[in-house]
Structure 1
Amino acid sequence: MKRRNFIQKTALTSGALSLGGALAYGSDKNSDADYHFNLKYAPHFGMFKNSAGDDPIAQLNFMAEQGFTAFEDNGMMGRDVSLQTKIGETLARHNMTMGVFVVEKGGNMANTLAAGKSEYIDIFLDGCRRAVEVAKRVNAKWMTVVPGGFERNIPIGIQNANVIEALRRGAEIFEPHGLVMVLEPLSDSPDLYLRTSAQTYLICKGVDSPSCKILYDIYHMQKNEGNLIHNMDLTWEEIAYIQIGDNPGRNEPTTGEINYKNIFKHLYEKGYKGVLGMEHGNSKPGRAGELAVIDAYKKVDGFM
């Protein structure tokens, strides 16, 4: 499922300065709920609309009541300022951590930074500047960046240099505010520039900024490279954010082939206290499907 379609499907009507920063950042366990998760799983708007209704604030309240201590919203930059403010206030009231939202640059494939074109870079940098203001309203720390597609008429080394240079300029915008853009390798299309954790690690090392780290999306990386725990360990010092989705289907854990209980146990034992974004759909419709999502997370969270 492409990110643009995923955001549309899961919108209201239904996208650490280092890993050490991710470990330190966030809230204590949520006192509103009877069940306390071991890790900070972050639902999104639309995931529980049958249980909580269409109102986004009611949905946040429901998430807190179920024990979730984080939240993410790919489309946050497109929401009204007044709603952004209310979201920030509601998260603070429930002591919930705000996860990622997507930096607007025209879509995953659009305005590719690999091309090195000034007009594309200007669009990206404008998105970064606007993202700073959004982050202040919702108390966000991490913003997703997808560099765009391959520029196949340019040698890969030149593409890498173009992406690194553009991201350095983005990092300069985020650094004074303690914000972090997290680069997400995707499986949606072979034409996307960023595809593997190793490649993303290389780019982050090239940018060499505490404001440019890896978003390790387990669903996408299972499709593109597998060997999940090993590859997370190899790139660990650059990982600042993790997202979830089982494969095939991109639904909740326990519906596919990924052993999420083992993965979450591994992350917990490594001391990961950052956010795990629930960037997936529900395998079953209606309220019953929403309760099944909650039950699935309780099951895979039971690794203690």
Structure 2
Amino acid sequence: MKRSDFVKNASLLVGSSVFFDSSLKASMPDSNNMKNQTFKLDYAPHQGMFSTSAGKDFLSEIQYMYDLGFRSIEDNGMPGRSVEEQKKAGELLAKLGMRMGVFVVPKGGNGANTLAAGKQEHVDVFLKGCRDSVEIAKRVNAKWVTVVPGDYERRLPIGVQTANVIEGLKRGAEIFEPYGITMVLEPLSDTPDLFLRFTDQTYEICKAVNSPSCKILYDAYHQQKNEGNLINLMNQCWNEIAYIQVGDNPGRKEPTTGEINYKNVFKWLYEKNYKGIVGMEHGMSKSGKEGEIALVNAYREVDNF
């Protein structure tokens, strides 16, 4: 499942009412006590995960997530929503006391616009995305935005590419710092053409940028594919990690469907006193209400440490 699929799903906006479905409640353990029962960590679903029960209206699904005990959301495609909808989402999140997780900086680094190339036109596009993101963040009270530096520029030595990325990110950090917004750099596993792929590489870049507005987004799904050794590498780079995302591997579905021992990972995060968001950036192993039940039960299981 690629990031573009999440963005595409996030743009499907069809009105619907919100209700707490009795069949979902009846299928969950201790269902009468589950409604509004929160989790030990702050897991953040995204639109589409509960659309069978809540409908495809974004605001209705946020309310439904709250009713299930979630206290944050993610929305990669937030920049693609109308200003009016962004404001309404921000108002609802504030009313419910929920946090807004990451959205993706528009053109914040991609294959055609890579910061590694050191080209001014690429940097200009990136900085415009940063400025636009500040305005979006104000509407939804977002504190984190995702940045991917883009692909390798293989005609340049790796050290020069790294320096180009650092210089571009320094410029972006200058835009975000006055607003207390942190761009979180995400190493990915989607293709070997991506410049940013490893935790220690991202750690080195964040140290060089040296800004509270440039930190690591650690996605355990991608790093299980790229390098493994999750807890040890997180621990080594911990002071530059500001945001966590998850998905099991193989398959990029909910925890308990793959090889990652998420109960141990989440227990470690809890013992590290991690108070940030754990983004549920993954698909679901089953469709419909059955899939929604399986999703919630999986998080209840791995959160029970």
1:117-150, Cα deviation, whole Å (9 max, x unpaired): 0000000000000000000000000000000000
**Secondary structure of the equivalent of 1:144?**
strand
In the alignment, residue 35 of structure 1 is paired with which amino acid? Q
- The count of residues paired between Structure 1 and Structure 2 equals 286
Runs of 4+ in 1 over 4 A off after TM superposition: none
Larger radius of gyration: 2
Whether contact under 8 Å (2:50, 2:292) holds in the other structure is yes
Partner of 1:171: 173
Distance in 1 between residues matched to 2:42 and 2:68, nearest whole Å: 12
**Secondary structure of the equivalent of 1:57?**
helix
1:152-200, Cα deviation, whole Å (9 max, x unpaired): 0100000000000000000000001111000000000000000000000
CA RMSD of superposed structures (Å): 1.4
Question: CA shift at 1:109, angstroms?
Answer: 2.0
Relative to structure 1, the CA distance from residue 13 to residue 292 in structure 2 (aligned partners, 3 Å threshold; closer, same or farther) is farther
Partner of 2:115: 113
**Where does 1:86-235 land on structure 2 (aligned, <5 Å)?**
86-105=88-107, 108-235=110-237
1:30-87, Cα deviation, whole Å (9 max, x unpaired): xx94422001000001111001001111100000000001101000011000100011
**Secondary structure of the equivalent of 1:284?**
coil
Whether contact under 8 Å (2:10, 2:76) holds in the other structure is no
Question: CA shift at 1:287, angstroms?
Answer: 1.2
Question: CA shift at 1:4, angstroms?
Answer: 1.6
In the alignment, residue 2 of structure 2 is paired with which amino acid? K
Distance in 2 between residues matched to 1:137 and 1:106, nearest whole Å: 19
Whether contact under 8 Å (1:3, 1:108) holds in the other structure is no
1:86-112, Cα deviation, whole Å (9 max, x unpaired): 110111111111100000117632300
Distance in 2 between residues matched to 1:157 and 1:259, nearest whole Å: 36
Partner of 1:67: 69
Distance in 2 between residues matched to 1:212 and 1:260, nearest whole Å: 26
Partner of 1:298: 300
Question: CA shift at 1:290, angstroms?
Answer: 1.0
**Secondary structure of the equivalent of 2:190?**
coil
**Secondary structure of the equivalent of 1:256?**
coil
**Secondary structure of the equivalent of 2:116?**
helix
Distance in 2 between residues matched to 1:6 and 1:59, nearest whole Å: 15
Q: Structure 1: 5+ residue runs without aligned partners?
A: 15-31
Partner of 2:264: 262
Q: Percent of pairs identical after alignment?
A: 65
**Where does 1:23-42 land on structure 2 (aligned, <5 Å)?**
33-42=35-44
Whether contact under 8 Å (1:37, 1:67) holds in the other structure is yes
In the alignment, residue 50 of structure 2 is paired with which amino acid? F
Q: TM-score, with normalisation over the residues of structure 2?
A: 0.91
In the alignment, residue 225 of structure 1 is paired with which amino acid? E
1:16-42, Cα deviation, whole Å (9 max, x unpaired): xxxxxxxxxxxxxxxx94422001000
Distance in 1 between residues matched to 2:297 and 2:117, nearest whole Å: 45
Distance in 2 between residues matched to 1:95 and 1:247, nearest whole Å: 32
1:240-274, Cα deviation, whole Å (9 max, x unpaired): 00001000110100000000000000000010010
Partner of 2:4: 4
